Structure 1
Amino acid sequence: MDTAEFTPEWLALRESADAAARARELLDPLRAHLADAPSPGGGLVIRDLGCGTGSMGRWLARRLPGPQCWILHDRDPALLARAAAGINGPTGDGSPVTTVAERRDITRLDPGQLAGTSLVTASALLDLLTADEVNGLAEACTRARCAVLLTISVAGRVELHPADPLDTEIAAAFDDHQRRVTGGRRLLGPDAAVVTAAVFAHRGARVQVRPSPWRLGADQAALTAEWLRGWVGAACEQRPDLVPRARDYLRRRLDECAAGTLLVVVHHDDVLALPGGRR
């Protein structure tokens, strides 16, 4: 899977914003399902796809009850080691958490590999997948009857206050970059949550989609500045003709960020897919 590199520094910078944004209203139906579908081993087996430094586990483990075994998947062995050490519980009712690190291609999971899995989860991953990869994930998870919680997928909507005449053009170029073809793969980008919800529903899953926006103000200036650089940079990579205007735009926006006068809302969606009727 050919995805952009995610440095530990960037993942640490965004962790609190991701945690604040995730749609907590999806947790009640998830908990109810997990309570009605106990794992054969008596605890939850949770697979975290593209786990990074383990931020999803640090957020979710304490919001679910009972013993949990987190099986962490990532292509980067250094991130895997950091994640395995960083998810240490306890769970929502004080039970222990154990971790297992597996370096594996998450786009090639099959139902046999998911046997015994209670939940498949991921954060900031969906928009980096292709339609075929999402289809494969949905097929594997629905056949294995796993619950699925996929969070912080870009939705293609950004709000900046105060507004700037170049906002819309930068945003459109960024969205086109998110849908680019890379390594022979056409990424879903901002279409990911809609496509994912549809393919899981087609396979009989009960699907809910909820918004999970970043709301970045003066207290998140470091994250906002780094996001701005990446957002504008991706737009210019997609449309080099924007570079002369985007250079001045980025300078203005960074000045506003440093002054604490810039507010940014970056829209994301979270998707919950629960198994349908018993077979």
Structure 2
Amino acid sequence: MSEEVGRVTAAWLGLREPADAAARAPELVEPVRRHLAGNPLTVVHDLGTGTGSMGRWLAPRLSGPQHWVMYDRDPDLLEHAKAEMTDTAAGGAPVTVETRQRDITRLTAEDLAGASLITASALLDMLTVEEIERIVAVCADTGCPTLLTLSVIGRVALTPADPLDAELTEAFNAHQRRTVDGRTLLGPDAVRATVEAFGRRGVDVTVRSSHWRLGPEQADLTAEWFDGWVGAACEQRPELTGPAAAYAARRLAEAAAGRLGVVVEHNDLLANCE
């Protein structure tokens, strides 16, 4: 996996963490909780950990002692994740953590041996078909539940509407599907590809909505997300740069005044958990 594609900063991950926590589908946690009930120790392997937001969100929602194994290729993010991880599960049980600096698209069944649950967040859309096939294959082989949250699906709604919204959305989605260093990213097609990959292995997948809903209380996140969204769209289609300048100025002024609403649609997936 390229070192540049999907590179994120701790600052960006910290800014988006509250919105991620609010968006994840809590109804997918209940079947996981039931599946894990009675385990003397739940071992969670978290793929593409970043700063560890998935662990901070999920660990307090699961009962019993837990051990989290966190994977990322960025050692600084892993250090942050380990330092900031909660040490208490639901009911006060202990939570421990270890980190592994790895390319998660190259994990093997041996890496995931002993897993009770596999998780990931905001990951799938940065992968290729081949990478998703490898990840799904190794997850399916473990036989344990796999919870994959916050994958973009290519739909954005801004309020109030603007004539350029649809054109920029289309350009951004094309950017998400771009080819970089020989890797053709799936972007908004990743959810479908993942469900199909599990299906070919006889594994059922439950899909739920997990949309960001950004309003005046998230003005800083809205502005940061919007800047990246417009920038990617213009990188994909440079002819949009001129029209997008005035558009961006209007939109950022609306955001600063608390008048801009944004819905960024995502899906959460739960596989192999009946």
Q: Does the 8 Å contact 1:58/1:89 carry over to 2?
A: no
Does residue 31 (structure 1) correspond to residue 33 (structure 2)? The answer is yes
Residue 261 (structure 1) aligns with: 259
CA distance in 2, matches of 1:241, 1:88: 47
Match in the other structure for 1:102: 100
CA deviations on 1:106-132 (whole Å, 9 max, x unpaired) are 001111221100111111101001111
Instruction: Name segments (4+ residues, structure 1) moved above 4 Å.
Output: none
1:71 paired residue number: 69
Match of 1:4 in 2: 6
Query: Which secondary structure state, in structure 1, belongs to the residue aligned with residue 37 of structure 2?
Result: helix
Distance 2:203 2:152 in 1: 22
1:46 aligned to 41, 44, 47, which one?
Answer: 44
Task: Give the letter for the 1:160 counterpart.
Answer: L
Q: 1:88 aligns to what?
A: 86
Gaps of 5+ in 1: none
- Which residue does the alignment assign to 2:127? 129
Specify which of 9, 20, 23 is matched with residue 21 of structure 1: 23
CA contact (8 A) 1:142 1:275 kept: no
SS at match of 2:63: coil
What residue in structure 2 maps to residue 236 of structure 1? Answer: 234
Query: 1:74 touches 1:80 (CA, 8 Å); kept in 2?
Result: yes
Superposition map of 1:149-188 within 5 A: 149-188=147-186
Number of residue pairs matched? 272
Q: Which residue of 2 aligns with 1:119?
A: 117
Could you tell me whether the CA contact under 8 Å between 1:115 and 1:144 is conserved in 2?
A: yes
Match of 1:143 among 125, 141, 144: 141
TM-score between both structures, scaled by the size of structure 1: 0.95
The one-character-per-residue Cα deviations of 1:30-85 (angstroms, maximum 9, x if unpaired) are 1122227x4xxx21111111111111100000011111111111111111001011
SS in 1 for 2:166: helix
Contact 2:215 2:261 in 1 (8 A): yes
* Counterparts of 1:114 and 1:101, CA distance in 2: 13
**Worse-matched range after superposition: 101-110 or 85-94:** 85-94
Letter in 2 for 1:88: T
- Paired amino acid for 1:17: A
- Residue identity matched to 1:21: A
Q: Distance in 2 between matches of 1:148 and 1:211?
A: 16
In the alignment, the residues of structure 2 paired with residue 55 and residue 16 of structure 1 have an alpha-carbon distance, to the nearest angstrom, of 9
Distance 1:4 1:31 in 2: 31
- Give yes or no for contact 1:204–1:275 (8 Å, CA) kept in 2: no
Give the Cα–Cα distance (whole angstroms) in 1 for the partners of residues 163 and 116 of structure 2: 48
Q: CA deviation at 1:275?
A: 5.6
TM-score w.r.t. the length of structure 2 is 0.97
For 2:148, the aligned partner's letter is: L
| Number of the residue aligned with 1:251 | 249
Question: Shift of the alpha carbon at 1:173?
Answer: 0.2
Q: 1:53 aligns to what SS in structure 2?
A: coil
SS in 1 for 2:198: helix
Distance 1:45 1:271 in 2: 19
The whole-number CA distance in structure 1 between the counterparts of 2:8 and 2:259 is: 28
- Overall identity of the aligned pairs, in %: 57
Instruction: State the match for 2:201 in structure 1.
Output: 203
C-alpha distance 15-120 of structure 1, shift in aligned 2 (>3 A): same
Task: Give the counterpart of 1:216 among 187, 192, 214.
Answer: 214
CA RMSD of aligned residues (A): 1.1
